[in-house]
Structure 1
Amino acid sequence: MTTTMRGVFAVSTTPFGAEGEQRLDLLTPGLTRALDAGVDGILTMGATGEALALTTAEREDQIRATVETVDGRVPVVVGCMAYRPEDMLDLIAQAAAAGAQAAMITPPFYGGLAPEVAAEALDRVLERSELPVMVYNNPGATGVDLLPSHLAQLRGREAFWSVKETSGAATRVAELRQELGEDVEIFVGADGIALEGFAQGASGWVAASAYLAPASCARLWRLADAGDWNGAVELWRSFGIPLGQIEGSPAFISLIKQGLSALGLEQGPVRSPLPTADHDSVAEVVSAVTALEQEVGSDD
């Protein structure tokens, strides 16, 4: 794949009103804040965006609104997760029609597929995709762990742009880089091990936390990408704890949304049955993130 999209991709949320209605008027401020802080891309319709809780119409409206707001400043990647390859392709076509630059897909979930079978299903999508594709390895959610050897089977497809790696395996990013070479971008997908992934040769970071703390996430990536490991480690020492709190919480989506609301970017509640973060957790994360964002902003 010749596409060179890399760096920090912030994963956007879906704002809701008090009655649970989608609020696209609240989407723009969060996107603009992330863009102004220097993120390199936006990923919409991910888990953080509660994509599976949206109706078809809500999904289409939000993709269009996201593309319009971003307005070409950075690439927009759209989550196109579905069970059947044919449905993934339909979602990718919709994203392409809306003006997105790439799509993200996972193995078919819930079915208990062998990794080889899951890779074959993804290959059928990559063969016909209208957009560059990020393959999201998320064994915790899909029940399938795509090893580097499985992903190597997809290398012949022109649409195979990147891998989002979230298995948590200690040396997985390095193994992927060794197996896939430099033709496929490799993104860290687990916020709590971002710096480890950068050190192993990752191309960037798909970060839910980058929507809450975009300046800090962008700064961390810039330092690592420039080879300033002393600076990156110093930032990570103050950044890693709040990231771990967000990443390790079952209510991480609520944490991010409530955190943004507390910072003046109203997001509303999560949709049932997702859990709601408790007040103390939100206050702790907001305090840490606010201090760090102010510090990073003053450095810039």
Structure 2
Amino acid sequence: MTKPMRGVFAVPTTPFNEDGTQNIEALTSRVEAVLDAGVEGILCLGATGEALALSDEEREAQIRAIVDTAGDRANLVVGCMAYTPEQMSAHIANAKSWGADAAMITPPFYGGLEPEAAAAALHAAMKDSPLPVMVYNNPHSTGTDLLPEHLAALVDTGRLWSVKETSGAAGRVRELRAELGDDVDVFVGADGIALEGFVQGASGWVAASAWLLPRQCQALWSHAREGDWAAAVELWNDLSGALAQIEDNPAFISLIKQALSRLSIDQGPVRPPLPTADSEALESLLSTISALAKGN
């Protein structure tokens, strides 16, 4: 780990060339810009992005490129989601060999598992992990809501670094802090409730929106960390409109990519079967970003 793994972690999109191959140059150029804006970490190959559409060779090329670009300026977390504990473990080992600082895993997708069974699968993958692990609680995608007591059952692995919380339960960040104590960090994982999570004591924010709006997202976190809640609320009132437009759109990855491309940061299309955002949503978001830039 290059420094304490807290703060804003931006989630990259995967830029593609016209022939469908990864555009590594566009990726690393954006990493540079995001880090220059003050963002403290990168979380790539996320669970709801294009990671599942990439080959093993593409995954490796992406991670190695980000590691080389970021150096010791930021921590790198790599999504290692899979259906079985054995597959998760293999992904974590790969992430370690590619230079990652930590791994992120979720309960098995579409497993229909009860929380206790999901926690047992995660425990099996984590117990011998060579990297610290972030557990992503995403009931919408996995069908399993890991409550604080289920996550507490993973502490004895010695590898539970953090929880990325996106259940949307109003007091969940506070409940996690109370159950897990100071040895496990809790990150807000849903952009639309970032400020609420900070108020409840979150250690940071895994933010898809920070790939598009890194300076503003970092500023919001900085205000909260410094206890300047008046400034945080003022910025939130300006920023939350753009965050909502991104997060509420099922084609949010395409929306971020198209917005960046319109701002001369070429991203290419999303890789099917991910949906493409419509032009109306794109124009609305660009209008909101333009107004945000004028006000800040």
The TM-score range, normalised by the shorter chain, is over 0.9
Moved more, 14-23 or 140-149: 14-23
Give secondary structure in 2 for the equivalent of 1:181. Answer: helix
Partner of 2:177: 177
> What is the alpha-carbon distance in structure 2 between the residues aligned to residue 34 and residue 41 of structure 1?
9
Tell whether the 8 Å contact from 1:254 to 1:277 is kept in structure 2 after alignment: yes
Q: Which residue of 1 aligns with 2:193?
A: 193
In structure 2, the residue matched to 1:235 is 235
Give deviations 1:46-75, integer Å, cap 9, x for gaps: 146410010111111111111111112100
TM-score (norm 1): 0.95
Which runs of 5 or more residues in structure 1 are unaligned?
Answer: none
Name the aligned partner's letter for residue 100 of structure 1.
A
TM-score (norm 2): 0.96
* Contact 1:188 1:205 (8 Å CA) reproduced: yes
Q: How far apart, in 2, do the equivalents of 1:191 and 1:206 lie?
A: 8
Over residues 98-138 of structure 1, what are the superposed CA-to-partner deviations in whole Å (9 max), with x where a residue is unaligned? 11100000011111011001001111122110001000000
Q: Distance in 1 between matches of 2:115 and 2:176?
A: 16
Q: Which amino acid aligns with 1:16?
A: F
Change (3 A) 1:293 1:71: farther
Contact 2:174 2:200 in 1 (8 A): yes
Q: Output the CA distance in 1 between the equivalents of 2:293 and 2:38.
A: 13
2:80 match: 80
Match of 1:279 in 2: 279
8 Å Cα contact 2:47-2:81 kept in structure 1: no
Alpha carbons 1:12, 1:48 under 8 Å: kept: no
Distance of 1:247 and 1:70 partners within structure 2:
26
**1:55-94 equivalent positions in 2, closer than 5 A:** 55-94=55-94
Q: Tell me the distance in 1 between the aligned counterparts of 2:48 and 2:217.
A: 16
Match of 1:131 in 2: 131
Partner of 2:268: 268
What SS is found at the alignment partner of 1:186?
Answer: strand
In structure 1, give the amino acid aligned to 2:8: V
**3-state DSSP class of the match of 1:128?**
coil
- Which consecutive aligned stretches of 4+ in structure 1 deviate over 6 angstroms post-superposition? none
The one-letter amino acid of 2:55's match is T
Say if 1:246 and 1:256, in contact at 8 Å, map to a contact too.
yes
Instruction: Please report how far the alpha carbon of residue 292 of structure 1 lies from its aligned counterpart in structure 2 after TM superposition.
Output: 2.7
Identity of aligned residues (%): 62
Counterpart secondary structure, 2:183: coil
Correspondence 1:43 to 2:43: yes
Match of 2:140? 140
Number of residue equivalences: 294
Which residue number in structure 2 is paired with residue 250 of structure 1?
250
Kept in 2: contact 1:209–1:243 (CA 8 A): yes
The alpha-carbon distance between structure 1 residues 49 and 30, as it changes in their structure 2 partners (threshold 3 A), is: farther
Q: Determine the C-alpha separation between the residues in 2 that align with 1:42 and 1:288.
A: 25
